[in-house]
Structure 1
Amino acid sequence: MKILLSLLSLLLACLPLRLSAQTPHQHDYTGSHGMVLFAANDSLLVSHLPLYRPPHDYQLVYEVTLAADIQQAVLAQLQQNRLLTLLPADFDLRRMINATTFTVNADIYQGHFERGGERWLSGIAVTFNRQLYQRQLPDVNKPADNGSYTAFSHHGQMFLLHQIGTAPGYDHILKVSALPQVLQFHQSTPEQVLGAIQQQGIKVQQLYLETQDFEP
């Protein structure tokens, strides 16, 4: 009887561990969080590359700084309309979500680091100074349109950031010379949005466009 009770106690003690092992894996906030780089005059900005799945489902724009000589080299590349992406070492995305200031080492790629881009700079210190924008993507199970943009300005330059809706969505960053009359567009594609802005006599430059990560 004592042996039977001992075995029962052991099974009960192991049960929480077995249940825990069967719990679906939750994505961790600490991990790889890629970003695209762009410039507001002499200020360097990054935009987190979001995904529909948590915890990557955040649009986040930050002002960052690098060592002075490296920052000038990066700004020079951006002035030539080069696409540069940033791949930091693993860090907790909640640092960005909570608008904290922190420093992490990162690699910079010419082109998209997941789309054949080439590593240009390795292990450079990037200081995340100030959050400029934050938005969590809508629940994938709840319809949300893809016609809305939000505007923000920094260091004398103005930008439009697409508010990503449900699939098929897209990540889209524009630099504009003036605010459009409205920030809600009925057009369904990034190209049509560009045309609608240009028809208002506004100079517009497409800084970044990603569609592949937001397909159904």
Structure 2
Amino acid sequence: MKALWLLLFCFSSPLWACLHASHGIHGMVMLQVENQLIASHLPFPAGKHAHQIVLRISSDMPELVLHALKEKALVTLEPQPFALKDLQQGKLMSFNAQVYLGHFERGGQEAGTVTVQVQQKLLDKAVGEVAEQDGVYRIQLGQGELLVKAIAGEGAVDEILYQAKGKAAEQLYFESADFAPEAK
């Protein structure tokens, strides 16, 4: 009887791990700032996706994607499903993702599959947390800073700007944070 319970536990443990409340597809917008690749989790105002997470990443991107990033075109990642808590806790340091020119849930064009390596977590805040200054999280980079608007909840926007030292802020990404995904 003990052997049966042990066998059942061994087979159900991986399944249980996959069923964690934060497990799912955690789409990301990708940016190129100061010759660095930045990925920002596409949050929802509530639920398992209600986290603003910004990462410095590395990956061998297709030339078409690198060109789009230089032109500041919208590029998104559709990672294989994972538990967001694993990313937050530093347990997930790489993942495979489909890259899209445009929004992966809104008719974006597939541009290849890549392996993404997480180099550094730059921001990890729950939606609704109050940012330190003017509703903006400031992330220092080499020659400037990323300005990430804190998402307060329903009706908010997901906005990321870059401000080089001594220059005006430049908008890199802007979208309603409570969008409803559309079928591809």
Root-mean-square deviation (CA, aligned residues, Å) is: 2.6
Where does 1:47-126 land on structure 2 (aligned, <5 Å)?
47-67=40-60, 70=61, 74-122=65-113, 124-126=114-116
Greater share of strand residues, 1 or 2?
Answer: 2
What's the CA shift for 1:159? 1.2
- Matches for 1:195-210 after TM superposition, within 5 Å: 202-210=167-175
The 2-side partners of 1:125 and 1:30 are apart by 19
- The structure showing larger relative contact order (alpha-carbon pairs under 8 Å, at least 6 residues apart) is 2
- Kindly indicate whether the alpha-carbon contact (under 8 Å) linking 1:168 and 1:214 is maintained by their aligned counterparts in 2: no
Q: Do 1:36 and 1:49's aligned partners in 2 also have CA atoms closer than 8 Å?
A: yes
Deviation at 1:27, TM superposition (A): 7.7
Q: Distance in 2 between matches of 1:106 and 1:209?
A: 22
* Equivalent of 2:127 in 133, 137, 147: 137
Q: Give the TM-score normalised by structure 1.
A: 0.66
CA contact (8 A) 1:60 1:96 kept: no
Residue 99 of structure 1 deviates from its aligned partner by 3.2
Pick closer, same or farther for the CA change 1:160–1:39 going to 2, 3 Å. same
1:173 aligned to which of 160, 167, 173: 160
Return the offset for 1:72.
6.2
Instruction: Check the 8 A contact 1:100/1:130 in 2, yes or no.
Output: no
Which has more helix, going by share of residues? 1
Equivalent residue, structure 2, for 1:128: 118
Distance 1:34 1:136, change over 3 A: same
Instruction: Tell me: CA distance 1:134–1:66, structure 2 relative to 1, closer, same or farther (3 Å).
Output: same
TM-score of the pair, normalised by structure 2: 0.76
Q: Quick one: distance in 1 between partners of 2:170 and 2:138?
A: 14
CA apart distance, 1:50: 0.6
The offset of 1:47, in angstroms, is 0.4
Post-superposition offset of 1:77: 2.1
Structure 1: unaligned runs, 5 residues or longer:
1-25, 180-201
**Structure 2 counterpart of 1:129, which letter?**
Q
Aligned mates of 2:62, 2:25 — CA distance in 1? 22
Contact kept, 8 Å, 2:73 with 2:101, in 1: the verdict is yes
Contact 1:44–1:75 under 8 Å retained in 2? no
**Structure 1 counterpart of 2:138, from 151, 154, 158:** 151
Question: How much does 1:100 deviate?
Answer: 3.9
SS of match in other structure, 1:55? helix
- Name 1:15's counterpart in structure 2: none
